[in-house]
Amino acid sequence: MTSLNDRRVVVTGIGLISPLGCGIESNWSGLMEGRSGIGPITRFDTSGYATQIAGEVRDFHPEDFIPKKELRKMDPFLQLALGAARLGFEDARLTVDGGVAHRAGVIMGCGLGGLHTIEEYHRVLLDAGPRKMSPFFIPMLIGNMASGLISIYHGCKGPNLSIQTACAAGTHAVGQAYHMIRQGLADIMATGGVESTVTPLAVSGFNAMRALSTRNDDPQKASRPFDLNRDGFVLGEGGAVLILEESRIALERGARIYAEVIGFGLSGDAFHMAAPAPDGEGAVRCMQNALDDADIKPEEVDYINAHGTSTDLNDKYETQAIKTVFGEQARRLAISSTKSMTGHLLGAAGGLEAAYTVLTLHRQFIPPTINYETPDPDCDLDYVPNKARPANPRVALSNSFGFGGTNGSLVFRKWNGR
């Protein structure tokens, strides 16, 4: 084993299922085309709902990844987790066998868990009584089962954790997995986020908060981060799994390396259940902590994949926070919100956006913020409006900020080949 001071962490596999598609190429082509994955909700009758649009996953076939007899035991969020994990392990060309099993772990982020299952079996209980409840009801809905099933299906016997920190969960999962490898607690980690909450309860609940866009007549333009006419976020769903490895182990097995993870920062706003701290004070400390952990200066960062939810206060305060942390460098940064194309995947957002950030470094193209039409005086940075941009980013940051004032930032660096 390498010494703790020498342990570097690299990304060797990416598994993606999102409103833009299933797999790396469909997601990347969607980002480069500036294609929106938002459309009318098809899962339930939205008559009477203020919001009738979402970013649904449309081309994922769980029976391609999971034995049919097992599917009925799994909430849709678990199916997405296993699908993304298999895509990630296949992309990494990695099989966890007996020789490495005890050094391979899983950490997944999730916000709300098995909401489909809760809604379905609440109806069963009311209509048919307690004797009709499934024995799999509890295992189907608990958030930690995403990590649990990934470890079972892939034989990972190392650390097994689940993180439920709302919209920052995926970022926190990747960050904790990175630190576990750095600290010598594991050599391989499957990590990311998953969420499937396009359900009546979720939509009506977020509508009650007045958090969702109601631009039902033009779904593809509803998610518009940093634009003056933004009116709320668009609910999305999906799963993303990154395979992280200790760099020397990855190199010894001849793995393809996408990028290096070099920093992780956290903070708490200690301010409000749902609103961000004024002027992005918590986000400032979070990004600064990530830069300190990476041991880099603000001027070394080239790109930020912003949290960018398309809500009034988040976009305004994240912009202010970037200005505070980066000073004059803020106006030279390329910043984009890929939520403009995918919607907000809640607990899966940080995992998906971490993967997009890694691909940005690997492929040297910056995704756009689509639907940016009317500048907001409070949001006056370079948000890469509407068209992808060729570039040469070396270091990138990915931000996630969640309800309860929980914040996470990840720092990635282009792999230099050694």
Instruction: Return the SS3 of 140.
Output: helix
Strands 334-336, 303-305: parallel, antiparallel or unpaired by DSSP? parallel
Q: Does residue 344 have an active-site annotation?
A: yes
Instruction: Let me know the angle formed at the C-alpha of 351 by 198 and 242, rounded to the nearest 5 degrees.
Output: 125
- Residue 72 backbone dihedrals phi, psi, to 5 degrees: -70, -10
- Residue 18 backbone dihedrals phi, psi, to 5 degrees: -150, 175
Distance (Å) of CA 1 to CA 258, 336, 417: 23, 39, 20
Q: Which of 22, 110, 167, 379 is catalytic?
A: 167
- Residue 115 CA to residue 198 CA, distance in Å, equals 9
Q: Does residue 272 have an active-site annotation?
A: no
Q: Which of 116, 154, 172, 307 is catalytic?
A: 307
Instruction: Return the SS3 of 357.
Output: helix
Distance (Å) of CA 346 to CA 57, 95, 172, 343: 14, 29, 13, 9
Q: Which of 156, 344, 362, 379 is catalytic?
A: 344
Q: Does residue 307 have an active-site annotation?
A: yes
- 354, 175 contact by CB (below 8 A): no
- 397, 298 contact by CB (below 8 A): no
Query: Active-site positions?
Result: 167, 307, 344
